[in-house]
Each structure stands twice: as C-alpha cells, then as structure tokens.
Amino acid sequence: MPAINDIESVKDQYKDDSNLSIRAKLHAKYSTNKQGFVPWLFEKYEFSKGYRILELGCGNGLQWENRIEQLPEGCILILSDLSEGMVKIVWEKYSNHKNFLAQQIDIQNIPFPDNCFDVVIANHMLYHVPDMQKAFSEVKRVLKIGGKFYSSSNGNGGMRTFLHDAFKQVNPESNAFTKEFSFSLQNGKEMLSRYFGNVERYDFVDSFSITETKDLIDWMKSTITMASYSEDDIYGLYDYFEDIRKREGAINIPKETGLFISTKL
C-alpha cells in the first residue's frame, strides 16, 4: 500500500484537484461546525501591511477565494505546491491579482533567501513530507525573526480511528487507517518546538454527520490509504455504513483537526 509520504504516490494523488475536491465537498456538506475550517483559520492568521506570505502545499487554492483582495495594503502572496498541476490551477484562478504569484516548490528545498517571509503557511500537508527535518529547517530559514509559521494537521484519533474500526468489521485482516500521521496534533508541538521558540496549538471542534453513504465511500476512494483495497472491501463498507445510516439517521464521525502557530524568535 502506498505510504502517505511516498513522494510519487503524493504526486499522483495531487496531479490535479479531483481528489482534493471530493474531500473538500464532504467537509462542506456534512461538517457539524458550520463556521467551517477555512474561516476559522483566517481568524487565526495575522497579516499586516507589506507582509510577504508564502503558502506551501496550497492545493487548488480554494481557501483564498475572495480573500486575496482583502489582504492588507502592500502584501505579496505566493501560493506554491509540489504538483505542477495544482500550480497551474491556482495561476488560472488568481493571476488577475497583482499581489499574487504561483510557483512549484518543494518544502524541503525552498528557493528563496534567508529571512524573507513574514508568514509561511502549510495546511494539512506536512504528513506527506519525506524529510520533516529539512522541511522545518527550510521554513525557519526563510522566515524573518518574529515571523509566524501556520501549520494545520489532523490528529491520530477521530476519523482515522473510526474508519479503521469500520474496516475491521468488514475485513478482520485489514490494516487500513492504522498508520499514524508522521505530523499530527499529538506530536506536532514537540516537533515544531525543536525549530521555533514559541509554539501554540489550537483545536477546531468539529465532526461529520453524513446522510448519503456514497459520499463517504467516494471520499475514502479518493485517499492514498485506499489505493490497494479490493472492490469487495468497498462493497462491504458501503453496506456497513448504510446500515448505520438507516439505523441512526446519519453516519456520525468524530474529527480531530487543528492548527499550530509557531514563531521564529
């Protein structure tokens, strides 16, 4: 089964935004916290006039829709991704903004000078990175003194544990959703504290209440974790979840997600 931080598997997963869009739609449609994760993130971000902002692993850049124009005067936003396809998508979306640039970048080798960014963002992508030490060292290098690194991630409980237990009901030999995230809510603060002087964790309280079983199955099929599982497993999961939906009215799944804010001192 492909590893979540296997670089070729990640590139294949994110060669375009089809898988990402499936996942985003599930969150938008069935999340119980109606504020939404992205609006919550933007409440945590601090942007000031003239800031240079770099996002790494920006995906399709959906979170920046109707927000680039709201950045303070003089800000420059660089959206970057390892995937050339994603970079093309965000360029097509936002190239009309004069304060915007798009670039293909590997977080393990950021092609900018030392101390040049006020803010660096990496949302739900660090667990895909093969060499976390290189990634954190590079982020710290390009941040100015006093600059902030915003990095969101999932926890090792929540949906992952729920789906693992579901798989076990369908196939007792399954090891799906067993591997913990290499960067998670549980270990993120400790890892970041080796590079940044001040690290704070903020949790986003949320869950799913899913009323259409197919949407959950589509979400699962869009993930790297599901790449090598059989059609029999998928059919079995559909029946398992559909029984829950009929019995309880919805498939209720906990989430563990949040944000670390790290400051370079």
Model confidence at 205: pLDDT above 90: yes
Output the CA–CA distances (angstroms, integers) from residue 23 to 136, 155, 160, in the order listed: 26, 17, 14
pLDDT at 16: 57
> pLDDT tens-digit profile of 115-164?
999 999 999 999 999 999 999 999 999 999 999 999 999 999 999 899 88
> pLDDT tens-digit profile of 30-45?
999 999 999 999 999 9
pLDDT at 264: 98
Tokens 């004069």, located at residue? 98
Task: Name the percent of the chain lying above pLDDT 70.
Answer: 91
The confidence band for 56, taking pLDDT boundaries of 50, 70 and 90, is very high
Radius of gyration for the alpha carbons in the chain, expressed in angstroms and rounded: 19
Model confidence at 15: pLDDT above 70: no
Compute the mean pLDDT over every residue in the chain, rounded to the nearest whole number: 91
Of the ranges 19-23, 65-69, 76-80, 113-117, which one carries the lowest mean pLDDT score?
A: 19-23
Model confidence at 1: pLDDT above 60: no
> H or E stretch including 145?
strand 143-154
Model confidence at 232: pLDDT above 90: no
Task: Name the percent of the chain lying above pLDDT 90.
Answer: 75
More reliable by pLDDT, 88 or 3? 88
Decide the pairing of beta strands 52-55 and 117-123: parallel
Model confidence at 2: pLDDT above 50: no
Model confidence at 14: pLDDT above 60: no
**Sequence letter at residue 85:** G
Global pTM value: 0.90
pLDDT at 61: 95
Burial label for 129, CB within 10 Å (0-12, 13-18, 19+), is buried
Model confidence at 100: pLDDT above 80: yes
**Are the beta carbons of 263 and 238 closer than 8 angstroms?**
no
Mean pLDDT of 159-183: 86
Model confidence at 227: pLDDT above 90: no
Model confidence at 92: pLDDT above 70: yes
Q: What span, in angstroms and rounded, lies between the C-alpha atoms of 135 and 149? A: 12
Burial label for 247, CB within 10 Å (0-12, 13-18, 19+), is exposed
pLDDT at 173: 82
Name beta bridge partners: 119: 53, 148
